[in-house]
Amino acid sequence: MKMIYPNAQELNNIFEIVDQFIEEGYLTVNENGLALKCGDRAMVCILDLSIKPNAFEQFTTEKEEKLGININSFLNVLKKAKKEDKITIGRNDSKLILTLWDYDLNRTFRIPLLDLTTEDLPQTDNLEFTGRTEVLTKVLEQIIKDSESISDFLVVEVNENLIFTTDNDVSDYKVELDNLNTNLLSLNGNGKSRYPIDYLKKLIDKDKKLFDSVVLNLANDYPLKIEHSLGDRVKFDFVLAPRVIE
């Protein structure tokens, strides 16, 4: 197994998002690329990351590999990447070998591979959404920043417009984007649910480094799937449980 990712800082930005929610997980390496799918401890969110073979400068594997890693240990190496660094990923028995390199300096780190206990994740592939919209990440960042001073939840609604609301006993907040708004890239269907702001804040704070826009999929009192992509190279889905009021 050998993988060379041409932009180590980009890989760092991807795993900074993962690190907000996940402590440990299995990297799966096979002919489809490198993947990570796991949930946070409370199973409030599920992360599904897929990095395709064409994202790598070199990608070779003879069999499927399951690499158990501590996300923070992996990220601590990636954080050391300089602007021009590439990263080579391999393994040697019980170690993951990570080499940061450019044209005049190679730096090799070895971190332990872990034998992790796996948990059954809720199925997310068969979720059926009724509303879908694409919005600029910078706008979501502002909406979440505004909302967190009022409440710990954010209501997202898709109909003829995209609407964000929250409230408390004395105050409320609302943003409505119509199809003429340049911050709204697409809008289809309908649906309305409320979601925890703390999870959205952690996600969007890191998203803005990589993704100019994100796609929101939802339905009534239903999970929210936030789709991210870097062309056809990287796909990252974030599924967040709704906060349902009885």
Mean pLDDT, residues 217-239 taken together: 97
**Short-list 191, 234, 238, 180, CA closest to 210:** 234
Region 59-84 average pLDDT? 96
Is residue 246 very low, low, confident or very high in pLDDT (cuts 50, 70, 90)? low
Gyration radius of the chain over CA positions: 19
Q: What is the largest CA-CA distance in the chain?
A: 61
| Backbone torsions φ then ψ of 135, nearest 5 degrees | -140, 150
| Angle, in degrees to the nearest 10, between helices 197-207 and 8-19 | 170
Q: What is the mean pLDDT of residues 194-211?
A: 96
Taking domain 131-227, whether its CATH number is 3.70.10.10 is answered by yes
Q: Quick one: which H or E segment has residue 199? A: helix 197-207
Q: Collect all residues with Cβ–Cβ distance below 8 Å to 98 and sequence separation of at least 6.
A: 74, 77, 78, 87, 88, 89, 108, 109, 110, 111
Residue 77 scores a pLDDT above 90? yes
Class of domain 2-112: alpha beta
For residue 176, the tally of other CB atoms under 10 A from its CB is 11
Mean pLDDT, range 107-124, rounded to an integer? 91
Lookup result for tokens 């879908």 = 132
What is the pTM for the complete model shown? 0.95
Pair 154, 218: CB distance under 8 Å: no
Is 245 a residue whose pLDDT tops 80?
A: no
Residue 93 pLDDT class (50, 70, 90 cuts)? confident
In the prediction, which pLDDT does 218 show? 98
pLDDT at 121 over 90: no
Q: What is the mean pLDDT of residues 58-77?
A: 97
Token pair, residue 30, equals 């096979």
The full set of domain ranges for the chain reads: 2-112, 131-227
